[in-house]
Chain A
Amino acid sequence: MTGLSLLSGPDPRAGMETAAAHLSRLGPLPSAGTELIDLLDRSDLRGRGGAAFPVGRKWRSVAERGGSGPVVLVNGAEGEPLSRKDRVLMEARPHLVLDGAALAARATGAGEVVLYVGAEHAGAVSALRRALAERPEAERRSTRIATAPARYVSGEETAAVHFLNEGVALPTSLPPRPYERGADGRPTLVQNVESLAHAAMIARHGDRWFRDLGRGEAAGTALLTLSGAVAVPGVLEVAQGSTVGEAVTGGGGLGAPARAVLLGGYFGGWVAAEQAWGLPLDAPALRDRGHSLGCGVVAVLPEHRCGVVESARIITYLAEQSARQCGPCVFGLRAAAAAMHRLAVTGAEPDDLERLRRWSGELSGRGACHHPDGAAGFLLSALRVFDEEFLHHHRRGGCSVRAREAA
């Protein structure tokens, strides 16, 4: 596994890169302050937690608030079940993440950094702890580690802030947004670990260098997690703007003939395989085409697996992972999961398919956080991509994939 930027240097599987190795490879961290924000703007770096919000703009909104000293919340609560990239980054390159956090603190005037990491990501927690012990004393004193409960919504930014304030990792109603009033009531920058690591590279090499790493209009690189029917599943760094097909080739090619690709994880959506290969891995370009890069998940569904069954499993998971705070999310996702399960496994009720189609439109925008939006988008993509299979399940109560296998 060779990296282009974040994962360049020693093989990430070899474990944590020490401070000495990190510094001799990349040189010291430049002492950039607020001017780094302009550099980030020009670099076109976008957040890698899923929303792809411009990083420079996010830092500026916190820096401008100033107030009683902002907080930098380093988001390493990787709740997406198919994603591994944040964990790999924290385990292999913790100093790059800490560099990014230090830069963010300087640029926004923050006096405190919180490393918010999934409690189940033991390797990442231990690498960050070891790396932190190697940092300058002032940085060590202003940084602490908080472990996030293992749950899908823990990484949502208001949930992260809520956890620091009250020990409850559940989303809250907006406003105020975290950049206005977050941890301890202070302006809070919640930023994904990969985004921060990119910022640390941009501070060293410049915005031009970063943009040139990307293909065409796209800037920089992205960490992906490949899974499913690929020869070598795992984390891969690609030039943004390269295609899904190239990423799969980077993962050793297909391990079996493919039916569809789940792009962006459970909050992303299905794309039919033949349409997926040519898609550019770049958040704005994908959004224009009605898809999502999300947190960089590329999961390949093989021909011999049924899209309806797989989608039912995922929507059931998402329903279980609801924070159970907002009615439409609690009851809507539960009902959608039940209907999907009937369609996939036990036999559909006459209205199930029609109701799922309606719900996929109605559930979006109906929660305090984006959980129902993500689930609704996923549902919509499943209904579209596996249209024929849904009809087959609906009419015949059986699976066309299994029928084909049996034939």
Chain B
Amino acid sequence: MEGPTLEVDRIRCDGHGLCAELLPELIRLDDWGYPLVRPVPVPGPLVGHARRAAAACPLLALRLRQGSR
């Protein structure tokens, strides 16, 4: 089965940038501090980090979604 995917609620996201600090393998920030997420299923070894990044978002704008949409 494919890994979960990361989704950003763009309206909620305020560009705090914690996600990119916690998950630099998959998330970097654009010129204005908003996340650019690699559009790939989260590989197994990174799932724990992805979960922590989602939990750390102060606005709960980052979600880990199981399966493809």
Contacts and interface: CB of A to CB of B under 8 A. Distances in A.
A328 B30 contact: yes
A332 B32 contact: yes
B41 interface: no
A366 B34 contact: yes
27 contacts: A173-B9, A173-B10, A173-B12, A326-B11, A326-B13, A327-B13, A327-B14, A327-B15, A327-B32, A327-B33, A327-B34, A328-B10, A328-B32, A328-B34, A332-B30, A332-B32, A335-B32, A355-B31, A359-B31, A362-B30, A366-B10, A366-B30, A366-B34, A366-B36, A367-B10, A368-B10, A368-B11
A335 B30 CA distance: 12
Nearest to A367: B10
Nearest to A363: B30
B11 A173 contact: yes
Interface string A262-297: 000000000000000000000000000000000000
A366 B29 CA distance: 12
Interface in B24-38: 30-34, 36
A258 B36 CA distance: 38
A59 to B, nearest CB: 22
Interface string B7-21: 001111111000000
Most chain B Cβ neighbours within 10 Å, of A329, A331, A367 = A331
A325 interface: yes
Nearest to A170: B11
- List the 7 shortest-distance A-B pairs measured between CB atoms, nearest first: A326-B10, A331-B32, A327-B34, A325-B11, A368-B10, A328-B34, A368-B11
Contacts of B12: 173
Most chain A Cβ neighbours within 10 Å, of B11, B13, B33 = B11
Most chain B Cβ neighbours within 10 Å, of A327, A332, A362, A367 = A327
Contacts of A367: 10
Interface string A325-369: 111110110010000000000000000000100010010011110
A195 interface: no
A172 interface: yes
Most chain A Cβ neighbours within 10 Å, of B13, B31, B33, B36 = B31
B69 to A, nearest CB: 9
A328 B15 CA distance: 9
B31 A335 contact: yes
A104 B36 CA distance: 40
A328 B34 CA distance: 6
Contacts of B31: 331-332, 335, 355, 359
Contacts of B34: 327-328, 331, 366
A294 to B, nearest CB: 22
A332 B35 CA distance: 12
A366 B32 CA distance: 12
Contacts of A325: 10-11
A173 B11 CA distance: 7
Interface in B46-67: none
A331 B14 CA distance: 12
Contact of B10 (A327, A331, A362): A327
Nearest to A175: B69
A172 B31 CA distance: 24
Contacts of B39: 365
Most chain B Cβ neighbours within 10 Å, of A325, A328, A335, A368 = A328
A38 to B, nearest CB: 27
Contacts of B9: 173, 368
Interface string A36-54: 0000000000000000000
Nearest to A334: B32
Contacts of A335: 31-32
B11 A172 contact: yes
Contacts of A332: 30-32
Contacts of A327: 10, 13-15, 32-34
Given A173-B12, A329-B10, 12 more contacts: A173-B10, A326-B10, A326-B11, A327-B33, A327-B34, A328-B32, A331-B34, A332-B30, A335-B32, A355-B31, A362-B36, A366-B10
